[in-house]
Structure 1
Amino acid sequence: KKLALDFSRLQAFKMGWKSYGDPSYVDHVMRYVKGSDKNVKPVNGSMDFYETVMKEALKYEGQPYAWGGSNPKTGFDCSGLVQWSFAKAGITLPRTAQEQHGATKKISEKEATAGDLVFFGGTYEGKAITHVGIYVGDGRMFNSNDSGIEYSDLKSGYWREHLVSFGRIK
């Protein structure tokens, strides 16, 4: 909840607005989760895990994409941002999108929860898996791409056309 409020305040400040989004968003979502299947758990069993990953990743929102970048000094490419952010939550991931794909258990889109990874192919010449993002729920991901470090929509358009799979950290 704190992460959502902090993000809302930051975005409002950036845009010069009084408010941004729905400050009660988490409460609205949780009322549905509380009444649902008791076995549903956030990825890795903890919302703290996801909050830690996203708190780190969001520090770099708006920064440009950096091919081969894997830390704040060099900037980030897609897999560098994922690797760095997950490391802050105590999860060691391989360096490339292809390797990260191999390090996850493949899950369906319906099974995907905030903190899972989403993989893409054909975004440039090369390996089968060429891009990775952090799934944030509601058909969206946070990632580093040619437009910079940002949220992206998975429901249609470019990312939907290149979507390969979702993966959960083993």
Structure 2
Amino acid sequence: MTALHRVSSPETDAARPSSPGPAATPAATAAPVRRPPARISARLSRLGAASVLTAAAVTVPSLLSGAAQRAEAGTPAALALGVAASKKGSPYQWGATGPYRFDCSGLTLYSFKRAGKAIPRTAAAQYNSTRHILARSRKAGDLVFFHTGSSGSSVYHVGIYAGGGNIWHAPKTGARVRLEHIWTHHVWYGRVR
């Protein structure tokens, strides 16, 4: 036979008679289920809300992409990055500036325009209009310029840096807007002013 153990508390002991009567059964002597006093319920509610908020603060950032974590929410660069990512799968078309087809600089132009920033049309002109930064200073939302020489006129491709060595870009004819790892060291970085 298993013995029943009762947890004692001032709230439940005060309401229970000190000894059961002669006709009492084990079910009658078991501690009644009671709700905690209002002050304890309020504390538990606050602790529960705090726990939920703490869990959200810890969990939600890990669910977001690396780029979203590093980009400051609400900045034009972060907004442009989000716009570019939302165009994933859109077909490449030379000279297209969206909203359904893009070439490389058309995607960056469209993305920054939607984020409230005007930039020039071509990759080379976009490079010349940005504040040039070092690779170690790059942030999500900066532009990545691919080049063949040492001058701004040698820029032939552009994408939006997504963090982790990746860019969102419209690669070439027959391809679609996609996230891709930067495949060369022949890149420069620029920050839209």
Fold match by TM threshold 0.5: yes
Number of the residue aligned with 2:180 = 152
User: In proportion to residue count, which structure has more helix?
Assistant: 2
Q: For residues 24 and 69 of structure 1, do their structure 2 counterparts lie closer, same or farther at Cα, with a shift above 3 Å needed?
A: same
1:23 CA displacement: 6.2
1:47 CA displacement: 2.1
2: distance between equivalents of 1:27 and 1:77? 27
User: In proportion to residue count, which structure has more strand?
Assistant: 1
User: How large is the Cα RMSD of the aligned pairs?
Assistant: 2.6
2: distance between equivalents of 1:65 and 1:28? 24
5+ unaligned residues in a row in structure 2: which ranges?
1-58
1:28 CA displacement: 10
1:53 CA displacement: 1.4
Number of the residue aligned with 1:166 = 189
Number of the residue aligned with 1:78 = 104
Larger gyration radius, structure 1 or structure 2: 2
2: distance between equivalents of 1:93 and 1:57? 15
TM-score, normalized by length of structure 1? 0.65
Alignment identity in percent? 33
1: distance between equivalents of 2:131 and 2:116? 18
SS in 2 for 1:54: helix
5+ unaligned residues in a row in structure 1: which ranges?
1-21, 34-40
Matched positions, count: 126
1:54-93 alignment to 2 at 5 Å?
Answer: 54-73=81-100, 75-93=101-119
* Amino acid aligned to 2:91: P
